[in-house]
Amino acid sequence: MQSLAQIDIGPAYREEQEKQLLARIAARKQELGDQLLILCHHYQQDSVFSFAHVTGDSLKLARQAALATDRRYIVFCGVHFMAESADILTADEQIVILPDLTAGCSMADMASREQVAAAWQELAPLVDLEEIIPITYVNSSARLKAFVGERNGSVCTSSNAERALTWALSQGEKVFFFPDEHLGRNSAQAVGIPPEQVVLWSRGEPLGGNSAADLRQAKVILWDGYCTVHMQFSEAQVRAVRQADPGVQVIVHPECRQEVVQAADFYGSTEAIIKAVSESPAGSSWAVGTEINLVRRLAWQYPDQKIRSLSPVDCLCSTMYRIDPAHLLWTLDNLAEGRIVNQIRVDEETADQARTALDRMLNI
């Protein structure tokens, strides 16, 4: 697999004034024209986000990458797993680039293929492995997606996790869901699986800290991964914001803990959060439980509504933030001068199996 070492882009980029960086990015974007597609996730900082050809949540961006058959270069302003999915879904001759290779996702790093394979083997004496359908959240490595693809499973995103879970339970008796405990638990609750049939697999403990009987009766086994950004939202914050502003509507991302999602008025993917706010009348009041760049952008785009973070402290995804104008310009300068830097390439065997799991999701 690829190493994630990012080379130093040098002082000519690091020390350049932001105004100059932005003007130079605009010029390079124009010069590269129809060869280039810049995809930006909603958590990108505004100075990068403003250069997007397409913005979206993980599902929308994966679909857009798959549709962009005419673009030679896909510059993915997001995190590593998103660029890997784009590489898997695009043709061999298309080049996917991540402007800073250190832009990873700590949740994705919580479930390696080796860890998951070991857990899978532990289950073998207890249950028929053919009856367990694995589902991995798109926030996972291509190697884990491949593991899932090989075992009749699917990828899901925060937009379709409930549908993926329902589909999986029509294919087998149990679901093993990685890596996000909270998206898994919130989705299981939404599709009506009783809490006693949902168990947590704690990494590092024999049988994930469960008894054999608990695992036999479980419908859903959740890996114990989480998002450090969304773990910062709490039920107490929901209570506090409602006390301060009784008319407020609370909307959160399903990576938040179950008690936060239950206390909120609405939950959904980043795209769903944007839709809910954008369709609200002037004077609406929102407390939003997701990454701060998106919350600030909503507040700025809809000044006739009151929009703030659910948390009193800024919840920043520090790895998304590593994609900055300096790295974007460095990437585009190199492309314009005929050099490819930071290409994200998934080996063919892994890509084939991972594509099976991604395609299942796109068809669910």
Q: Which of 87, 100, 162, 255 binds ligand 13P (CB under 6 A)?
A: 255
Residue in 154, 158, 311, 342 binding ligand 13P, rule: CB under 6 A: 158
Distance CA 160, CA 359 (A): 13
What phi and psi, each to the nearest 5 degrees, are found at residue 154?
A: -135, 160
Please state, in angstroms and rounded to a whole number, the distance separating the CA atoms of residues 17 and 310.
33
Residues 189-228 that bind ligand SF4 (CB under 6 A): 227-228
Q: Which is nearer to ligand SF4, 290 or 305 (CB)?
A: 290
269 touching ligand 13P, by CB under 6 A: yes
Q: What is the DSSP string of 314-344?
A: ----TTGGG--HHHHHHHHHHHHTT---SB-
Nearest-angstrom CA–CA distance, 86 and 60:
11
Residue 157 interacts with ligand 13P (CB under 6 A): yes or no: yes
Distance, CA of 140 to CA of 150 (rounded, Å): 15
DSSP state for residue 180 in the 8-state scheme: B
Nearest residue to 52 (alpha-carbon basis) of 65, 37, 62: 37
- At residue 85's C-alpha, the angle toward residues 82 and 91, to 5°, is 130
CA pseudo-torsion sign 143, 148, 152, 155: negative
DSSP H or E stretch at residue 285: strand 285-289
Residue 184 CB, nearest approach to ligand 13P (Å): 14
Quick check: 310 and 230 in contact, CB under 8 A? no
Query: Of 68 and 108, which CB lies nearer to ligand 13P in the complex structure?
Result: 108
Mention every residue, 6+ apart, whose C-beta is less than 8 A from residue 5: 101
- CB nearer to ligand 13P: pick between 21 and 255: 255
- Smallest gap from Cβ 312 to ligand SF4, in A, equals 18
Measured from the CB of residue 23, what is the shortest distance to ligand 13P in angstroms?
29
Report what 55 binds from ligand 13P, ligand SF4, none; CB cut-off 5-8 Å by kind: none
Query: Considering the rule CB under 6 A, would residue 181 count as an interface residue with ligand 13P?
Result: no
Which CB, 105 or 252, lies closer to ligand SF4? 105
Give yes or no for residue 351 binding ligand SF4 (CB under 6 A).
no
- The verdict on 139 binding ligand 13P (CB under 6 A) reads yes
User: Of residues 200-239, which lie at the interface with ligand 13P (CB under 6 A)?
Assistant: 227
Assign 288 to helix, strand or coil: strand
- Binding ligand SF4 (rule: CB under 6 A), the pick from 40, 95, 101, 107 is 107
Q: What is the DSSP string of 191-211?
A: TT--GGGEEEE-TTSGGGG--
What residues are paired with 36 via a beta bridge? 73
**Closer to ligand SF4 by Cβ: residue 106 or 262:** 106
Distance of closest approach, residue 161 Cβ to ligand 13P, in angstroms: 10
Partner in contact with 57, chosen from ligand 13P, ligand SF4, none, beta carbon below 5 to 8 Å by kind: ligand 13P
Q: Which helix (H) or strand (E) holds 29?
A: helix 18-32
User: Using CA atoms, how far apart are residues 120 and 111, in angstroms rounded to an integer?
Assistant: 12
Nearer to ligand SF4, 22 or 222 (CB): 222
CB nearer to ligand SF4: give 107 or 326.
107
By beta-carbon proximity to ligand SF4, the closer residue of 107 and 175 is 107
Member of 38, 251, 320, 354 binding ligand SF4 (CB under 6 A): 320
Block residue for tokens 């000044």: 303
Q: Which of 32, 55, 57, 73 is the binder for ligand 13P (CB under 6 A)?
A: 57
Residue with Cβ nearer ligand 13P (42 or 297)? 42
Query: CB of residue 163 vs ligand SF4: minimum separation in angstroms?
Result: 20
Kindly state the tokens that stand for 101: 């290779």
Walk across the sheet containing 266-267 and list its strands.
266-267, 249-252, 285-289, 306-309
Residue ranges binding ligand 13P (CB under 6 A): 42, 57-58, 139, 157-158, 227, 253, 255, 269-270
Residue ranges binding ligand SF4 (CB under 6 A): 79, 105-107, 139, 227-229, 255, 291, 317, 319-320
